């Protein structure tokens, strides 16, 4: 399975590197192509880099890991190439000071992205976990698996994302249709508030007990 990572920041870099270690063919891409090359080299495991357009063309699954404010620019470059492909939206539409949501609660970043890309299979996932947890490549905290929630309207696309989450060792939790991103994005804000505002740090995560 080929995974294109759009964005070479902490989230894209960490998830892409982990995915490459569980046998995904990872292609890193970013506006800063040199940085994408450096990230691919550091990831090892035959990861490579390409332009954003080339990465999307080659991939089966695309991880969108750019700031929400950059989404429209990215979409303008590769929108038609995403037809029929699984697009994982890992973004969070936050205010500039990270103190609140820029969107919600009658829509979400994921739903707005789906409007821009009506022929892509958008799945919200990976947005409720800190990048440092992905960088640690440890899906557990004190022996308890961290839950990664995902939401989408296409069953097969969700199954592919759930499989990726599970292969990384996380507890994959189906949160429902794409509009459930309206719940998942506030969860990310809560995570940030707990980690930074209340001093719990970034080695934390949610666990869905059932």
pLDDT digits (tens, 9 = 90+) for 29-57: 998 999 999 999 999 889 999 999 999 99
- Domain ranges, ordered by start, for the chain: 2-197
Instruction: Dump pLDDT digits (tens) for 173-201.
Output: 999 999 999 999 999 999 999 999 999 99
- Give the separation between CA 195 and CA 177, rounded to whole angstroms: 28
Residues in Cβ contact with 200 at an 8 Å cutoff, skipping those fewer than 6 apart: 194
Position 60 scores a pLDDT of 96
Beta carbons of 150 and 162 less than 8 angstroms apart: yes
The mean of the pLDDT values for the chain is 95
pTM of the predicted model as reported, rounded to 2 decimal places: 0.95
What pLDDT score was predicted for residue 104? 73
Average pLDDT rounded to a whole number, residues 128-148: 96
- pLDDT for 9 equals 93
pLDDT (tens digit per residue) in 156-174: 999 999 999 999 999 999 9
Class of the CATH-defined domain 2-197: alpha beta
Q: Which residues contact 183 (CB under 8 A, 6 or more apart)?
A: 175
């Amino acid at each position: 399975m080929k995974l294109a990572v759009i964005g070479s920041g902490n989230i894209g870099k960490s998830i892409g590197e982990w995915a490459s270690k569980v046998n995904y063919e990872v292609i890193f891409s970013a506006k800063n192509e040199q940085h994408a090359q450096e990230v691919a080299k550091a990831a090892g495991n035959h990861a490579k880099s390409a332009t954003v357009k080339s990465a999307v063309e080659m991939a089966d699954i695309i991880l969108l890991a750019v700031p929400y404010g950059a989404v429209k620019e990215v979409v303008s470059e590769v929108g038609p190439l995403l037809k029929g492909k699984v697009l994982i939206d890992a973004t969070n539409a936050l205010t500039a000071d990270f103190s609140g949501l820029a969107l919600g609660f009658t829509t979400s970043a994921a739903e707005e992205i789906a409007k821009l890309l009506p022929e892509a299979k958008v799945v919200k996932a990976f947005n409720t976990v800190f990048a440092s947890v992905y960088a640690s490549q440890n899906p557990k905290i004190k022996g308890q698996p961290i839950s990664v929630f995902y939401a989408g309207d296409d069953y097969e696309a969700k199954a592919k994302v759930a499989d990726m989450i599970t292969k990384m060792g996380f507890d994959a939790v189906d949160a429902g249709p794409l509009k459930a991103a309206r719940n998942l994005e506030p969860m990310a804000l809560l995570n940030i508030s707990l980690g930074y505002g209340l001093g719990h740090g970034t080695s934390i995560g949610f666990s869905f007990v059932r």
